[in-house]
Amino acid sequence: MSRIDETREFIPVRIAVLTVSDTRVADDDRSGNVLVERLEAAGHKLADRKIIADERDRIAGVLRDWCGREDVDVVISTGGTGLTGRDVTVEAHRDVYEKEIDAFGTVFTHVSMAKIGTSAVQSRACGGVANGTYLFALPGSPGACKDGWDEILSKQLDYRHRPCNFVEIMPRLDEHKRRK
């Protein structure tokens, strides 16, 4: 059973938030605000935040830039995970991933099913790793961001979470690149 191990010290993670939208600006970015509020309330640090249009190359470029920065451990994007022609965030993420975290989308779908039923099939939430950085793509609704953070990411980005979490393996994400 998963739990928080109070004998372990909390380790803050540096998280960048990317909102993908053709219409949102800082004043009305409710989904980005949800993520920032929750990550900061949990004790993590906001490393960067941007809003960009639904353009695959631009999204992938921002993801690559953040993956190359020493002060970014995790990237969470919101928006562009649906099925319409302009929804290209998942493709941009997959252009950058070295490894995909297949179960992230599965668990997100499971969480969504409890809230929105079969409408959960319309989300293509995904997760992966690139250059030692975790990347997660969540849908663009505030509710989906709450679900993704509250039910999955808040736990997996907490070093105290047992039996395992993303933070404890973070130092080994790019071990294949080290010289032996």
Cis preceding-peptide flag for 163 (omega within 30 of 0): yes
User: If pLDDT is split at 50, 70 and 90, which confidence band does 180 have?
Assistant: low
d(CA 85, CA 12): 37
| pTM of the model as a whole | 0.95
Burial class (CB in 10 A: 0-12, 13-18, 19+), 179: exposed
Segment 83-138, tens digit of pLDDT: 988 999 999 999 999 999 999 999 999 999 999 999 988 889 999 999 999 999 99
d(CA 122, CA 108): 12
CB distance 157 to 44 below 8 Å: yes
Of residues 51, 59, 63, the one with CA closest to residue 86: 59
Provide the token pair at 172. 């080994």
Distances (CA, A) of 176 to 25, 130, 131, 167: 39, 12, 10, 18
